[in-house]
Structure formats: C-alpha cells, structure tokens
Structure 1
Amino acid sequence: MHQPYEAPGTPRDPGARVLVVDDDPTVAEVVSGYLDRAGYVVDRAGDGPAALARAAAHWPDLVVLDLMLPGMDGLEVCRRMRGQGPVPVIMLTARGDEDDRILGLEVGADDYVTKPFSPRELVLRVESVLRRTRPVATPGLLRAAGIEVDPSARRAAKNGTELALTIREFDLLAFLLRHPGRAFGREELMREVWGWDFGDLSTVTVHVRRLRGKVEDDPARPRLIQTVWGVGYRFEVPGDGS
C-alpha cells in the first residue's frame, strides 16, 4: 500500500485540486500521498464542517468523501457542497451494503469506492471522473423533445431552462440523445457511459431514476427515458412514429 506510485499513462488535469475528507488519518494520508504523486493538489479535512470550510476557501475540482464522518455524515456534506456549486464527488464507504451505495448515488455522488480499496484504483477513478468534466470538441447540439444538450460546454436545458445535472447524469443524457429510439442494457450503458467493464448495475438504475426526475414532466410515467423490459432503457422521441 505504501509502495511508490507509478502513475498510469492516462490523461489527467495537472494541478487539479482534490479535497480528501476522511476521519481516519491513515486512510487520508495514504490517499493524499497517492493523489499528490499523481500530480494533484490535495487538501484534507477530517470532518464535515472542516470539509465545507476547506471547500469555501479553495473550491475543489473533485472531492473524495467518506460516508461515515463524525457529527455530519458524508451525505449531508455532499448535499451542502452541491448547494454551493457543481463539484464531482467520489464517495468512500466502509460498508458493502447496497443501500449505502445507493444513498450516495441518490445525493449525487458520481462514483463510489468501498473500503478496503486499492489507492491505485482510487486514483484511476479520480482520473476517470475528472476526464469527463473536461469540455470536448463534439460537433453540434443534441436536441429532442424539448431537451437540448451542448456537449462542448457541458450544458443541458429543458424547454430553455438549464438543468442541474451531475457529471454522470449529463453523460447518460447525452449518450441516450445520440441514439434515440435504441434500447441499451444496463451493462452496455455502464460500459459506454461510465467506461467500466464491470460494476454494480444499480449505479445505472439510480442514475436513470435521477435523470428522469429532471427531464420528465411526470417521472412516475416517463415518456422520454423509457424502460424496455428485459433489455434496459431507450430515449423515445414523442411523435416520431416509433
């Protein structure tokens, strides 16, 4: 765990600021060390109030956030940070219980890692999430059913009103808009949107539910992001005859 870190040959943001929030000083030190050697500027906090203060002083590009914190848990810290501005969050949890992972995703965490974990894997997760925050040169806007997505600016709107989407919600919406009428399984969405060849498929389910809550007129009766039983999901353009 304390071996010198050899950074993988993947793109990263030089000098990107990562806030590590964990009340276990050993975990915080190891994680911070690996991130520092990977080229990130690292801030540390041992509890929720300290994390909020750190973020207010130097807004991070990404937060590695422990779920179980004294006083104010990671879910509340995530909610309060997201109330101040958009920021990617990778949640750490010592529990393997699916409910805890889903709770983290429900409050908007972009990824999660279950303790004990490999620091190298965490660095790769950080790189993956940050890579998806960068504007990309994608030609043209994506438009359908009152939804407009600008991949280059990473902005989305519904009927002219901007949507507050997390990184993964944005990527999921953009991917579905690029393939209207086509059904995708959860495994395929995880591979194409998250870039994972394996993982907890409930991650996809939770993000679809959250995205429906933001783009559907009635999320309980979705017209745009439809469930295809036995397959997965598809983006349906009303009135296209399909």
Structure 2
Amino acid sequence: MKETILIVDDEIKIIEVIKLYLENEGYNIIQATNGIEALKKQDKHNPDLIILDLMLPDISGEDVCEHIRTGSQVPIIMLTAKSSEDNALKGYSVGSDDYITKPFSPKQLVAKVNAMLRRIKGNQYETLTFNNELKIHIENKKIEYNDDEIILTASEYKILSVLAKNPNRVFSREELMDYISDDNSFIYDRIIDTHIKNIRAKLNQDIKNPTYIKTIRGMGYRFNV
C-alpha cells in the first residue's frame, strides 16, 4: 500500500500539479488550502508526509508546522517563495525537514518525496541504548529519554541516529548535511547547528556541557558514550 501525502497550499493550480505528479508515482493524495484545514486533515488521516506552503491565508505554514511537531514527527517539506538563509533556518527551527523554493520543478519535488520516504521506512530492527536512559528504536524511529518519548523531526532523527551508530567518530557539518539532504540541493551548514541545538534541547541536555552530542571545535560533532 502506497503512502498518503498531504499537500497544503492556497493555490489550487499548484496543488493540482503536485497531485498529478505524485499520483503518477502511486501515492494517495489529500489536500488542504489553509492552515486550519491542514491541521484537521493531519489529525484525521495521519499522512506519511506533508508538503506545506509557508504562506497561507489564515495561519502561517511555520505555525502549522510547529503545531504538528507537538505530537508528530511526520516528514514535512516546506514550499516557500522566500529563499533567504534566515527563512530557511526558521523553517528548520520549527520542525520542517526540507524545503523547496518556488517556482520549483515538480520532478525535483517528487525526487525529494521519494528519497525522504525511502529513508523513513528503514528495514532495521534494532534499539540503541545509552546509560539506560536514552533509547533509539531504529525500526519505528522512536526516541525515548528516561522512558518519555521524544519527538524529533526526520532530519533531527537522521542526525542523532547516525551519530549514535558511530560513537566517538567526529562528523563534519558537511558529512551531516549529506545525511539529511535528499538530493544535491544546497543546504546551509548553519542548519546543522540548528538541528543539533534542537536535539539537545529535546533531550534536556546542558547547553554548556551536553552529555551525548559534543561539539569538536573546528571539526564538527561527536556522539559521546
């Protein structure tokens, strides 16, 4: 059974184009033209991925994304007419996993969707446990810290899991960018710092002396065990 994708955009023509391309790939499509409708359909249908326009007529795509992130780690791709670094970083900081700038190639968007869903599926049955407090369940992408479930975005999960699978190895920002990128599109290296900051906060880590993800000055990040 193919995955369900929620497309959120106030421009019907854009929805129709995206829908056509994704339905040709075999995906089930649901759609919304504003933020309130998007949140209702997300709750009702629990889609496997969301394509979310930044500019909506009622509430912003950023607010929609932030609300969804309070209870779900569904992959979210932002559509935005704003291409500045600050806007991209803001989207990531509220929980989006990737973004694409309008006008965009539908084929490029489809490639992002396909690659992201392939990575999300995974086929490993493994739980990584650290200090009997942090547990990373590879099969269902579930994170537990002191028995409480921690909600990470898909990109945050990718970063944490690759670091945890390779303890004591230093990963440069460029290497981590490769892990979260679904194609060859440019990603600002500051985005990695934003993701790391979010992960630490969600794990209640001491900012000055985090237990798990250490900053190696001038080199990158290392998972400490």
Scaled by the length of structure 2, the TM-score of the pair is: 0.90
Identity %: 38
Segments of 5+ residues of structure 1 without an aligned counterpart are 1-13, 238-242
CA contact (8 A) 1:101 1:112 kept: yes
Q: How does 1:181-192 map to 2 (within 5 A)?
A: 181-192=168-179
Quick one: distance in 2 between partners of 1:223 and 1:137? 26
Larger Rg over CA atoms: 1
Q: 3-state SS of the aligned residue for 1:136? A: coil
Quick one: distance in 2 between partners of 1:70 and 1:192? 34
Aligned: 1:212 with 2:200 = yes
Q: 2:100 — aligned with what?
A: 113
Quick one: distance in 2 between partners of 1:228 and 1:210? 18
Quick one: distance in 2 between partners of 1:59 and 1:91? 18
| 1:49 CA drift (Å) | 1.5
Match 1:62 to one of 45, 49, 61: 49
Match 1:228 to one of 207, 216, 225: 216
The change in CA–CA distance for 1:25 and 1:193 in structure 2 (over 3 A counts) is closer
Greater CA deviation, 127-136 or 117-126? 127-136
Quick one: distance in 1 between partners of 2:150 and 2:13? 39
Aligned: 1:103 with 2:103 = no
Q: 1:27 — aligned with what?
A: 14
Q: 1:42 — aligned with what?
A: 29
Match 1:144 to one of 130, 136, 146: 130
Number of residue-to-residue matches in the alignment: 223
Q: 1:4 — aligned with what?
A: none
Quick one: distance in 2 between partners of 1:193 and 1:29? 28
Aligned: 1:15 with 2:2 = yes
| 1:154 CA drift (Å) | 1.8
Quick one: distance in 1 between partners of 2:191 and 2:11? 26
CA contact (8 A) 2:112 2:183 kept: no
Greater CA deviation, 212-221 or 86-95? 212-221
The change in CA–CA distance for 1:223 and 1:151 in structure 2 (over 3 A counts) is same
Quick one: distance in 1 between partners of 2:71 and 2:136? 23
CA deviation vs aligned residue, 1:70-119 (integer Å, no higher than 9, x gap): 12110111122233533221111101111111111111111111112111
Q: 3-state SS of the aligned residue for 1:207? A: helix
Quick one: distance in 1 between partners of 2:145 and 2:46? 28
CA deviation vs aligned residue, 1:117-161 (integer Å, no higher than 9, x gap): 1111111111122222224224x4222243221212322222332
The change in CA–CA distance for 1:158 and 1:84 in structure 2 (over 3 A counts) is closer
Q: 3-state SS of the aligned residue for 2:135? A: strand
The change in CA–CA distance for 1:154 and 1:57 in structure 2 (over 3 A counts) is closer
| 1:180 CA drift (Å) | 1.1
The code of the aligned residue for 1:143 comes to T
CA contact (8 A) 1:18 1:60 kept: yes
Quick one: distance in 1 between partners of 2:182 and 2:6? 23
Q: 3-state SS of the aligned residue for 1:233? A: strand
Match 1:177 to one of 164, 167, 178: 164
